[in-house]
Structure 1
Amino acid sequence: MQPKSRKSIWWGTLTLTSAALASRGLGLIYRMLLARFLGGEGLGLFQMVFPFYVALVTLAVAGTPIAVSQMLAEGKASANRLLRVATLIVLTITLPLMALVIVWAKPLAVTLYHDEMFVPMLWAISPALLAVAFSSVLRGYFLGRQEMEYPAAAQVAEQLARVAILFALLNLVSHHLFPNPPLIAVLLIPLGEAVSLAILAYGYLRRPPEPKLDDREPQGLARAILKLSIPVTLSRLLGSGVAVVEASLIPLRLQISGMSRAAAVRTFGQLTGMALPLILFPSALTVSLSTNLIPAIAEASAHQQTERVHKYIVDSIAATALLTIPVTFVLLTLGLPLDDLFFHASVPSTVFIPLVIGGFFLYFDIAFAGILRGLGRTDLPLWNDLVASLLEIALIWILAGHPGRGREGIAIAVAAGFAASCLFNLYYVLRLTRVRLPWGRIFGRPAMAAFPIWLATPLWQAWLRQWHVGQVMNLFSSVLVACALYFLGLAISGTRLTRLL
């Protein structure tokens, strides 16, 4: 298989990034609509169920797209046989998992959430697992071929379907007519997954793999897929498991800090459903980079092209810094009013700012983990996430129960977990590749170009308030001013806009 050009790598990244940004934008709208449809406490209930769904998906299929894409990129098997074996693997796991969720819904609801009201919601998410099983194989097929259009379209369409239906429910039918609004929100999950699968299936029918003889035994192919996918699955399952533990632990610890149960659930919904979605919005770039880096670095590494691997690493970290550094400055200065505008969340700065700082580490952590997986060391992100997650849970237990300071303790614990995972993964990237990262070039110019945002945007907002400019126009123009200042700073520092693109 011929090595992919750098142009194809970055075009694929641009395609996925554009789709991810569109999906994240729709996701913010979806969260806004959810907050209005469910209210603070209802959103908290939804956010308690959603991590369990993610854990189920992760257990069933998380490593499959990576394994399929990497094996296709390395030319280790024909696409037809690889897809058949991968589909058999995910169905072997998914179908029993669906049955277990349906049969054990009541004991799961009581054990995890201490309330039987969650039973219908657990039943509602089970059909989504089947759609995700097929989608994961098709997604890996397109990623391995460096054909990003259909995965990108599926990602956007999935969110768009949920937004359209929720918007219709809010504007055409009173949500007060529904006896269980959180259940309605949960039912949108399998609907969105079905839309995504339909687009991927359509793309597969239009671009099927070429027939190719393959004498490799299915058992050997299955072992190869599992060898690549199991560490990734365990790593992501760890993250999903931590989210499930947090969904159960955080409300309990907040009650110990002095909150009522309703207030604790509402606070959990504000943190995970209102503050974090805005902070995690920039991760669209690093998720796209990570997705493309895995097959690209795997291919370069298989050809022993060390210089090319180093080039991918430096360029990906530099691209991440170019976007996430100014976004972090914007979040530090404008994040709270933006969050209030979108969600009416009223999150205090003592909670929001630690989450922003933690999010900065997470942006880079996603890219570092993708590099390690592309090098074939899918085990390292797993162990690094394990240590970081144990640290995060320990800090939640210690800090969240502090009287009157529970919310701040949770924010510090989450930020510490993000930072620890990032630093561990960075250490192993440097150790395995011996790459020399030009830290000054990577961070220096973006930081210098972004620093005026911190100084100028508060002054701009104060000047607009003198003219009684409305909140929406104030924030919109402030974001535009921040962007203009950043691009001007990059131009002054000698960074070409073509290089930024």
Structure 2
Amino acid sequence: MAKKESFIKGTLILTAAALVARVLGLAQRVPLEHMLGSVGNASFGIANTVYLMLLTVATAGIPSTLSKMVSERYALNRPGEAQRVYHAALLFAAMAGVIMTLLVYFGAPYYATYVAKVPESALAIRALAPALLLFPTIAMMRGYFQGRNNMAAGGISQIVEQFARVGTGLILAFVLLNMGYNDSWAAAGASFGGVLGSIGAFGVMLYYTVKMRKQDKVALLQSGPDAALPLLRIYKDIFTLSIPIVLSSLAVPVVNFIDSSIIKGLLIPQTGESQATYLLGILTSRAQSIAGIPPILAIALSTSLIPIISAAFARRDEEYLKQQVTLAMRIAILTGMPIVIALCVASYSVNGLIFSSLDSSGIIMILTFGTIFQITMMTSNSILLGISKAKVSMVNVMIGIVVKFGASYLLAPFFGIYGIIAATGLCFLVITLLNLRTLKKIVPFSILGSRWVSFLVAVVVSGGVGFGLNQAGIQLVHIMPDRLAFLVTCLIVGGAVVVVYLVLLIVLGVLREQELASYPRMLRRIFTPLMKLQPSRLRTRKHEVGSE
């Protein structure tokens, strides 16, 4: 029981850390968007995409592989081997940190000037470079502690990192602007918060390391000497397992990095340099932060099923695997869609509520609409990883990125910034379709089967209701302060979309009472009282998840 409680507590901490990171990311973008001009917003956005991409490289794949290798060796009572694996990982992390820092610092002017075509962003990129000294090491330490069943260390360090990064970044940007520095320096100050965040996270990990040192010494004395593991063998094992996971995890950061790199070059011939810089700032400071909201709940709920999927695959229980894969994809779509709909139809009001101007609401709407494909891509990627198909997932992601690149260059001359955004949605859709094709070869399943038409009716009707309410709500600006009017409109539209959507899902039979037992507890609590609305012919129909 104690182990189970510890696992649940650790999982909750990691979930809270991920949620804090998303919320604080948005909380940072909003005040910065108000403080900075178009050059400052573009500069911070470019630096942030570089940072997030390199952070994914440092924190995806290798730490989870290290966690697996460490936990296996402690389970076999080989703590000496586990320590050697850990030390080898730390050595690699230290070297990788130095190399990445030097590359980013000295490569920033070239990338900013000739690739992103925003020379002013070099300062912001360079300001982040020192953070990369510590992040690979922090990632390895988190992986090691997870391998030791200590989830709290990684989760708390992530929360401390985010508060330090966002808080100090906003303070530095504000102080620099008030001292008379320009937007480029203010964006660099905001970026430097990442360095202070890394120091905070590293301090937390050192604290937990000191706490665990005594426990490690006892384990080493009790186990006796272990066979020495050659470094080359350790690195081979780590990279063989981790590289496909790293590359699979790079889809979203790489897509954002591509946009930061090519937007100005593609748009300058159509719009001119100043407008292209402005649109780049809109995309990175506004649209990407809003578009990051819908995946949070859907991915958390669907990926909570991944360990169950892994276990079913290992047992070769095809029927149960079919049910769980269906359930994971279904939950991802059904829980992600109402948030996507609400943010799309209320994009004008959301823009007016939290940002500095009302223009370019269409950019927010189109990018947010594409996140439904991001949700399905990320969920199907996780399922493939859960059934040991990381290499297939990696190949599909690479194909999607090639599609993104090509479609951006094809569509931008005709549709401008909207063509580039459409290429992003197409990239995620292609990866999703490739992933689903692979999964169906392993286990036959159908996400909604004959219910797709009913689902689309629920989407269109709830979207239409939300759009009508938004158009009516924005008229409130004539009788009350603008931001208050936009706040009221957002609340009404969001509530109405969710209620109409849920009611239609139940009335039209997209969700059925017989299936609720297999859903996560949080969703059962929401859906069960509403099931009284479902026609009796649907409630009495026998059905199992995955049969349609």
TM-score above 0.5, yes or no: yes
Instruction: Provide the C-alpha distance between the structure 2 equivalents of 1:8 and 1:436, rounded to a whole number of angstroms.
Output: 34
> Residues 154-176 of structure 1, C-alpha deviation per residue, up to 9 Å, x if partnerless?
43333333333355457777546
- Deviation of 1:349 after TM superposition, in Å, equals 5.8
Q: Of residues 85, 89, 107 in structure 1, which corresponds to 2:88?
A: 85
> Residues 208-247 of structure 1, C-alpha deviation per residue, up to 9 Å, x if partnerless?
7763645462433332111111223344457655544432
**Which residue matches 1:500?**
523
- Deviation of 1:386 after TM superposition, in Å, equals 1.4
Aligned-pair identity in percent equals 24
1:252-331 maps to which residues of 2 (within 5 A)? 252-257=265-270, 259-285=271-297, 288=300, 301-302=313-314, 309-310=321-322, 312-331=324-343
**Which residue matches 1:127?**
130
Provide closer, same or farther for how the CA distance between residues 115 and 367 of structure 1 changes in structure 2, counting only shifts above 3 A. closer
Q: Of residues 16, 22, 34 in structure 1, which corresponds to 2:20?
A: 22
Contact 1:361-1:419 within 8 A present in 2 as well: yes
Q: Of residues 234, 246, 251 in structure 2, which corresponds to 1:221?
A: 234
Contact 2:342-2:493 within 8 A present in 1 as well: no
Q: Of residues 358, 365, 376 in structure 2, which corresponds to 1:364?
A: 376
1:22-101 maps to which residues of 2 (within 5 A)? 22-72=20-70, 78=79, 79-101=82-104
Contact 1:21-1:281 within 8 A present in 2 as well: no
Matched, 1:426 2:420: no
* Equivalent residues, number: 494
Instruction: Provide the C-alpha distance between the structure 2 equivalents of 1:300 and 1:207, rounded to a whole number of angstroms.
Output: 34
**Which residue matches 1:480?**
495
Q: Which residue type is aligned with residue 45 of structure 2?
A: Q
- Deviation of 1:328 after TM superposition, in Å, equals 1.8
Moved more, 235-244 or 217-226: 235-244
Q: Which residue type is aligned with residue 249 of structure 1?
A: I
Gaps of 5+ in 1: none
- Deviation of 1:275 after TM superposition, in Å, equals 0.9
Q: Please, what TM-score do these two structures have when normalized by structure 2?
A: 0.77
Q: Of residues 242, 250, 255 in structure 1, which corresponds to 2:263?
A: 250
1:352-501 maps to which residues of 2 (within 5 A)? 352-402=364-414, 405-432=415-442, 434-440=443-449, 453-461=462-470, 468=479, 470-486=485-501, 498=521, 500=523
- Deviation of 1:202 after TM superposition, in Å, equals 3.7
Provide closer, same or farther for how the CA distance between residues 272 and 146 of structure 1 changes in structure 2, counting only shifts above 3 A. farther
Provide closer, same or farther for how the CA distance between residues 267 and 33 of structure 1 changes in structure 2, counting only shifts above 3 A. same
Provide closer, same or farther for how the CA distance between residues 102 and 229 of structure 1 changes in structure 2, counting only shifts above 3 A. same
Contact 1:274-1:345 within 8 A present in 2 as well: no
Moved more, 112-121 or 374-383: 112-121
Q: Secondary structure at the match of 1:413?
A: helix
Q: Which residue type is aligned with residue 23 of structure 1?
A: A
> Residues 341-393 of structure 1, C-alpha deviation per residue, up to 9 Å, x if partnerless?
22235454654443233210101111111222233322222211111111111
Contact 2:309-2:387 within 8 A present in 1 as well: yes
Gaps of 5+ in 2: 525-548
Q: Which residue type is aligned with residue 417 of structure 2?
A: R
Provide closer, same or farther for how the CA distance between residues 328 and 194 of structure 1 changes in structure 2, counting only shifts above 3 A. same
Q: Which residue type is aligned with residue 332 of structure 2?
A: T
**Which residue matches 2:190?**
185
Instruction: Provide the C-alpha distance between the structure 1 equivalents of 2:149 and 2:322, rounded to a whole number of angstroms.
Output: 20
Q: Which residue type is aligned with residue 199 of structure 1?
A: V
- Deviation of 1:444 after TM superposition, in Å, equals 8.2
Q: Secondary structure at the match of 2:413?
A: coil
Instruction: Provide the C-alpha distance between the structure 2 equivalents of 1:364 and 1:355, rounded to a whole number of angstroms.
Output: 15
- Deviation of 1:417 after TM superposition, in Å, equals 1.0
Q: Which residue type is aligned with residue 37 of structure 1?
A: M
- Deviation of 1:464 after TM superposition, in Å, equals 5.2
Instruction: Provide the C-alpha distance between the structure 2 equivalents of 1:297 and 1:145, rounded to a whole number of angstroms.
Output: 23
Provide closer, same or farther for how the CA distance between residues 139 and 292 of structure 1 changes in structure 2, counting only shifts above 3 A. farther
Q: Secondary structure at the match of 2:36?
A: helix
Q: Which residue type is aligned with residue 53 of structure 1?
A: Y
> Residues 314-358 of structure 1, C-alpha deviation per residue, up to 9 Å, x if partnerless?
443233234202112212322332133222354546544432332
Provide closer, same or farther for how the CA distance between residues 59 and 488 of structure 1 changes in structure 2, counting only shifts above 3 A. closer
**Which residue matches 1:156?**
159
Q: Relative contact order (alpha carbons < 8 A, sep ≥ 6): 1 or 2 greater?
A: 1
Contact 2:97-2:135 within 8 A present in 1 as well: no
Provide closer, same or farther for how the CA distance between residues 192 and 216 of structure 1 changes in structure 2, counting only shifts above 3 A. same
In our comparison, the structure showing a higher alpha carbon Rg is 2
Provide closer, same or farther for how the CA distance between residues 447 and 255 of structure 1 changes in structure 2, counting only shifts above 3 A. same
Contact 1:298-1:374 within 8 A present in 2 as well: yes
Q: Secondary structure at the match of 2:99?
A: helix
- Deviation of 1:188 after TM superposition, in Å, equals 1.4
Q: Which residue type is aligned with residue 280 of structure 2?
A: F
Provide closer, same or farther for how the CA distance between residues 50 and 181 of structure 1 changes in structure 2, counting only shifts above 3 A. same
Moved more, 90-99 or 358-367: 90-99
Provide closer, same or farther for how the CA distance between residues 103 and 30 of structure 1 changes in structure 2, counting only shifts above 3 A. closer
Instruction: Provide the C-alpha distance between the structure 1 equivalents of 2:50 and 2:451, rounded to a whole number of angstroms.
Output: 37
Contact 1:239-1:385 within 8 A present in 2 as well: no
Q: Secondary structure at the match of 1:177?
A: coil
